[in-house]
Amino acid sequence: MLHIVNKSPAQTSALASCLRLAKDGQALLLTEDAVYAATPSMAVTSGLAAAAKRLQIFVLQPDAQARGIAGKLITEARAVGYDGFVDLIAEHSNNQSWL
């Protein structure tokens, strides 16, 4: 399962809901303003840092670059481009977007 979150944890509870329901070993892709959750301070407060021990965390690189945080992500988060986004969709038979 690939979980996709696009809103900052400061805006909505989508990431919190996702982290609560995602199962060990599943993948999470942060896009748009959700990429802020992968910064060290927000990763701790949002619960992403703890979840990184059991989930594969991906960040859409162009969104992180657009927000000036590309070099400031937690080490557990793997940056992917649009081609990586497509690969993640193709690799996972089920995808859940959290709004």
Residue 88: which CATH number? Answer: 3.40.1260.10
Per-residue 3-state assignment (H helix, E strand, C coil) for the chain:
CEEEECCCCCCCCHHHHHHHHCCCCCEEEECHHHHHHHCHHHHHHHCHHHHCCCCEEEEEHHHHHHCCCCCCCCCCEEEECHHHHHHHHHHCCCEEEEC
pLDDT in tens, 38-89: 999 999 999 999 999 999 999 999 999 999 999 999 999 999 999 999 999 9
Supply the pTM of this predicted model. 0.96
Count of domains observed in the chain: 1
pLDDT tens for residues 22-50? Answer: 999 999 999 999 999 999 999 999 999 99
Range of the domain at 42: 2-98
pLDDT given at position 73: 97
Residue 9 pLDDT class (50, 70, 90 cuts) = very high
